[in-house]
C-alpha cells in the first residue's frame, strides 16, 4: 500500500525535493555571496552521492516525484553525472531538473545529458559583459552563452533562463533577455530579488517588481497574456506573448508570494532538511544517514519536518527574520 502523501498543517501536498550538492560556486553574485572570505561547509560534512540517492529514494516512497539539483554551483561537484544517473533511475521520479550558472556547461552539458538529464535552468541576469562582470564579479558571460547554445544543440528541453531582476541595475536587460529567449526558444523567468544575500544588504527598494517588468515587456516587445496555471504549485506565473512567439515567467516571491501552494522541501549539501527556502529552523539528517538508522526513521524525520512547516515566508511582515543560511548554502 502506497505511503500517505507528505501533507503539512495547511493541507499542502509535497512532491518536490530540491537537493543542493555543494555550497561552492565559481562566480560571486553580489545578491548571494560575499566577494571574499566565503564560509564554506567542511568537505567531510558534505553528503556523498550514495547518501543523497538514499534520501531521495526514501522521499520518493513518500510521494516526492520531482527532483531538482542545485548548489552553490552543482556543476562544480565532481562526477555529477554519476548522481544524475542514480537519481534518474529511481522508480517514481517523474521529473529531474538542474539549476546552474552555466559557466561549466561547455564541458559538462554532454555527460549530464547522457546521464539522463533533460530539463535545465540556467541563471543569467544580463547579456551585457560589463553588467555580468559587475553582478557576478567574474568575466564568464561567453562561456555561459556557449553552454546555452550547446544545450540547445544537445536537445535539452525545456531550457529556462533564470534572471534575477534588481532595481537600478538590470532594467536595461529586460527586453534584450526576453528577445534572446524568443529568438532561441528559451523561457526566460524574471526572479524578484529576495532577502537571502550573505551580506544582508537586501532592501525592498532594490526589488524590481514583476508588474514593472511586465509593463516594460508589453511596451518593448509585445502585449502579454497570463497563461492559466498549468500547475498552480509551480513557483512561476507564466505569460505568453499575444503574437504567439514564446513565453515568459515571473517568480515574484516579494510582490506575489506563492507559499499557499508550496510543494517543495530542500536538502542542503551538508544534509539538513529545510521545509522552506526562508526557514529559520532545519533538521539535520546526517546523523541518521551516517548512524545506521533504517529507512523508517528517516521517513519519520521527513514527515515531522513537513508536519512542522510554517504557512510561508514573512518577507512582507515586520516579523521577517532572514534565514541563518545564505542562498548559496541552501540552493534555489
Residue 63 CB, nearest distance to ligand SF4 (Å)? 16
Q: What nine digits make up the cell of 233?
A: 504549485
List 273's β-bridge partners, or say none: 267, 283
Q: What does the alpha-carbon distance between residue 321 and residue 25 come to, in Å, rounded to a whole number?
A: 25
Q: What nine digits make up the cell of 250?
A: 515571473
Which residue, 81 or 233, is less far from ligand SF4 as judged by CB?
233
Report how far apart, in Å, the C-alpha atoms of 232 and of each of 9, 226, 227, 259 are.
19, 13, 11, 11
Q: What does the alpha-carbon distance between residue 300 and residue 64 come to, in Å, rounded to a whole number?
A: 15
Count the residues of the shown chain that bind ligand SF4, applying the rule CB under 6 A.
9
Q: Which of residues 263-322 bind ligand SF4 (CB under 6 A)?
A: 264, 276-278, 312-313
Residue 278 CB, nearest distance to ligand SF4 (Å)? 5
Residue 302 CB, nearest distance to ligand SF4 (Å)? 16
Which residue, 95 or 320, is less far from ligand SF4 as judged by CB?
320
Which residue, 12 or 143, is less far from ligand SF4 as judged by CB?
12
Residue 261 CB, nearest distance to ligand SF4 (Å)? 8
Residue 139 CB, nearest distance to ligand SF4 (Å)? 32
Q: Is 214 in the site for ligand SF4 (CB under 6 A)?
A: no
Residue 164 CB, nearest distance to ligand SF4 (Å)? 15
Which residue, 40 or 258, is less far from ligand SF4 as judged by CB?
258
Label the pairing between strands 187-192 and 272-274: unpaired
First to last CA, the chain: 33
Q: Candidates 258, 283, 303, 314: give the one binding ligand SF4 (CB under 6 A).
A: 258
Q: Where would I find the beta strands (DSSP E) of 168-310?
A: 187-192, 224-226, 237-241, 247-251, 264-267, 272-274, 283-284
Q: Candidates 67, 87, 259, 302: give the one binding ligand SF4 (CB under 6 A).
A: 259
Cβ contacts of 292 within 8 Å, gap of 6 or more: none
Q: Is 262 in the site for ligand SF4 (CB under 6 A)?
A: yes
Rg (CA), the chain: 19
Which residue, 161 or 259, is less far from ligand SF4 as judged by CB?
259
Q: Which of residues 160-199 bind ligand SF4 (CB under 6 A)?
A: none
Region near ligand SF4 per CB under 6 A, out of 114-122, 137-145, 153-161, 254-262: 254-262
Q: Where would I find the beta strands (DSSP E) of 91-143?
A: 95-100, 119-123
Which residue, 136 or 268, is less far from ligand SF4 as judged by CB?
268
Which residue, 272 or 313, is less far from ligand SF4 as judged by CB?
313
Phi and psi at 85, nearest 5°, equal -60, -45
Label the pairing between strands 13-14 and 264-267: unpaired
Query: What residues make contact with ligand SF4 under the rule CB under 6 A?
Result: 258-259, 262, 264, 276-278, 312-313
Amino acid at each position: 500500500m502506497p505511503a500517505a502523501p507528505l501533507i503539512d498543517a495547511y493541507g499542502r501536498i509535497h512532491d518536490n525535493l530540491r537537493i543542493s550538492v555543494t555550497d561552492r560556486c565559481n562566480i560571486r553574485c553580489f545578491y548571494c555571496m560575499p566577494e571574499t572570505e566565503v564560509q564554506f561547509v567542511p568537505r567531510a560534512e558534505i553528503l556523498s552521492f550514495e547518501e543523497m540517492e538514499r534520501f531521495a529514494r526514501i522521499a520518493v516512497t513518500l510521494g516526492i516525484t520531482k527532483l531538482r539539483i542545485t548548489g552553490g554551483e552543482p556543476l562544480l561537484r565532481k562526477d555529477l553525472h554519476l548522481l544524475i544517473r542514480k537519481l534518474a533511475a529511481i522508480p517514481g521520479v517523474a521529473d529531474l531538473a538542474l539549476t546552474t550558472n552555466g559557466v561549466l556547461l561547455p564541458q559538462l552539458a554532454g555527460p549530464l545529458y547522457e546521464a539522463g538529464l533533460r530539463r535545465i535552468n540556467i541563471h543569467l541576469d544580463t547579456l551585457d559583459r560589463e553588467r555580468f562582470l559587475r553582478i557576478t564579479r567574474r568575466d564568464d558571460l561567453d562561456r555561459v552563452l556557449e553552454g546555452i547554445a550547446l544545450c540547445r544543440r544537445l536537445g535539452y528541453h525545456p531550457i529556462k533562463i533564470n534572471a534575477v531582476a534588481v532595481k537600478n541595475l538590470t532594467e536595461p536587460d529586460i527586453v534584450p533577455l526576453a528577445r534572446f529567449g524568443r529568438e532561441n526558444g528559451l523561457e526566460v523567468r524574471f526572479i524578484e530579488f529576495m532577502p537571502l544575500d550573505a551580506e544582508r544588504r537586501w532592501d525592498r527598494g532594490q526589488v524590481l517588481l514583476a508588474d514593472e517588468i511586465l509593463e516594460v515587456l508589453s511596451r518593448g516587445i509585445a502585449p502579454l497574456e497570463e497563461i492559466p496555471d498549468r500547475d498552480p504549485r509551480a513557483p512561476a506565473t507564466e505569460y505568453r506573448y499575444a503574437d504567439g512567439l514564446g513565453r515568459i515567467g515571473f517568480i515574484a516571491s516579494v510582490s506575489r508570494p506563492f507559499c499557499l501552494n508550496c510543494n517543495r522541501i530542500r536538502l542542503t549539501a551538508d544534509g539538513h532538511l529545510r521545509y522552506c527556502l526562508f526557514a529559520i529552523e532545519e533538521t539535520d539528517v546526517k546523523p541518521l544517514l551516517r548512524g545506521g538508522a533504517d529507512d523508517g526513521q528517516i521517513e519519520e524525520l521527513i514527515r515531522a519536518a513537513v508536519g512542522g512547516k510554517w504557512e510561508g515566508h514573512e518577507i512582507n511582515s515586520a516579523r521577517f527574520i532572514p534565514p541563518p543560511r545564505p542562498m548559496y548554502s541552501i540552493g534555489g
